[in-house]
Amino acid sequence: MIRLENITKVFNQGTVNETTALRGINLHVREGDFITIVGSNGAGKTTLFNTIAGTYFPTGGEIYFNNINVTKMPEYKRAKFIGRIFQDPLLGTASNMSLEDNMMICYKKGFKGLKISLNNKMREKFREELKLLDMGLEDRMEHNLQLFSGGQRQALTLLMTVISHPDLILLDEHTAALDPKNAALILDLTDRFITEKKLTAMMITHNMSHAIKYGNRILMMHKGEIVLDIEGEEKKNLTVDGLVKKFYDVKHEELTNDELLMSHE
Ligand SMILES: Nc1ncnc2c1ncn2[C@@H]1O[C@H](COP(=O)(O)OP(=O)(O)O)[C@@H](O)[C@H]1O
Ligand SMILES: [Mg+2]
């Protein structure tokens, strides 16, 4: 479905601030893959998403979507088939609009070209979908989103992303700004949506146990490279200690990032 061939990304090339964020990434994401991604700060995880989404063009290499070369396709065009969720709950939804208006925008995105407007039938549909979140939001459809909590906003962003039927969902530490209870709730919701609707998704997390628990495939990134790519039975049987050991076996380096190692749980 998505193929990255020898992707490199160099920032500020030729200056004293030159940084190589991606070093020859080769990756084939298959339809239905739910890939979790871990790696220390600065490993290139967000840059990988930015190159897939077209926020930046790579310095070298090619990107294919269903065998179409999209390497130079601008971000707004790719946004039609890529849904992206960020750490900040305020980014996914429009604060000054009501919940139902926000949902309507997503619907229109999901059913391209279909002439639909907000009527009672649509409202009933939204109500049913909001019930899936189990937060009582189905009774607050006329409220402006600025009245909702971070956890509620992130749950809505997730729901609306799913409604818009993207071919690929990119989640970049989308629970990191939430308290532990809401983070767990959003994570379970994410897993439920992706699994039940058989979506293709990539999820960055700094929590290694979450990365192991969710998805069918785990990538570890380190200094701009994918150093581990584990799936199937091997992924199912993985433990945090096992992951740390595998990293050592390939890199002959200890994992040093505190954030990554402290999030054992
Ligand atoms: N827009 C940018 N301009 C310059 N350097 C950047 C930019 N974005 C990322 N980098 C650098 O690229 C490297 C990888 O960053 P990033 O992809 O954000 O890592 P991660 O998400 O794994 O923490 C870091 O060294 C970072 O400073
Ligand atoms: Mg990042």
Is residue 8 within 8 Å of 60, Cβ to Cβ?
yes
pLDDT, tens digit, 9 for 90 and up, residues 32-61? 999 999 999 999 999 999 999 999 999 999
Indicate whether 161 belongs to any domain: yes
pLDDT, tens digit, 9 for 90 and up, residues 170-188? 999 999 999 999 999 999 9
Q: How many residues appear in the chain?
A: 265
Within a 13 Å sphere around the CA of 161, how many CA atoms are in the beta-carbon half?
A: 29
Residue 167 pLDDT exceeds 90:
yes
pLDDT, tens digit, 9 for 90 and up, residues 122-154? 999 999 999 999 999 999 999 999 999 999 999
Mutation test of ligand 1: which of 16, 19, 222 has the most ligand atoms closer than 8 Å to its C-beta? 19
- Using the 3D structure, point to which of 165, 191, 209 is the last residue of a domain: 165
At residue 89, φ and ψ (nearest 5 deg) are -60, -20
pLDDT value, residue 117: 82
DSSP 256: -
- How many folded domains does the chain comprise? 2
Residue 60: beta bridge partners?
A: 8
pLDDT value, residue 257: 66
CATH of the domain at 213: 3.40.50.300
Percentage of the chain lying above the pLDDT 70 cut: 95
Domain housing 38 = 1-80+200-265
The token duo for 140 is 């607050």
Percentage of the chain lying above the pLDDT 90 cut: 81
Give the separation between CA 181 and CA 159, rounded to whole angstroms.
Answer: 18
Indicate whether 172 belongs to any domain: no
Residue 258 pLDDT exceeds 80:
no
Which ligand neighbours the alpha carbon of 59 most closely? Answer: 1
- Write down the pTM of the prediction: 0.93
What's the count of helices (H) and strands (E) in the chain, helices before strands? Answer: 10, 10
Is there a single domain that holds both residue 62 and residue 115?
A: no
- Using the 3D structure, point to which of 138, 165, 192 is the last residue of a domain: 165
The reply to whether ligand 1 has any atom less than 6 angstroms from the CB of 19 is yes
Distance 21 CA to ligand 1 centre (A): 6
Give the separation between CA 212 and CA 181, rounded to whole angstroms.
Answer: 19
Averaged confidence pLDDT in the chain? 92
CA 199 to the chain's CA centroid: 12
Mutation test of ligand 1: which of 9, 10, 11, 219 has the most ligand atoms closer than 8 Å to its C-beta? 11
At residue 116 the predicted structure's pLDDT band, cuts being 50, 70 and 90, is confident
At residue 261 the predicted structure's pLDDT band, cuts being 50, 70 and 90, is low
Distance 138 CA to ligand 1 centre (A): 39
The reply to whether ligand 1 has any atom less than 6 angstroms from the CB of 263 is no
pLDDT, tens digit, 9 for 90 and up, residues 7-29? 999 999 999 999 999 999 999 99
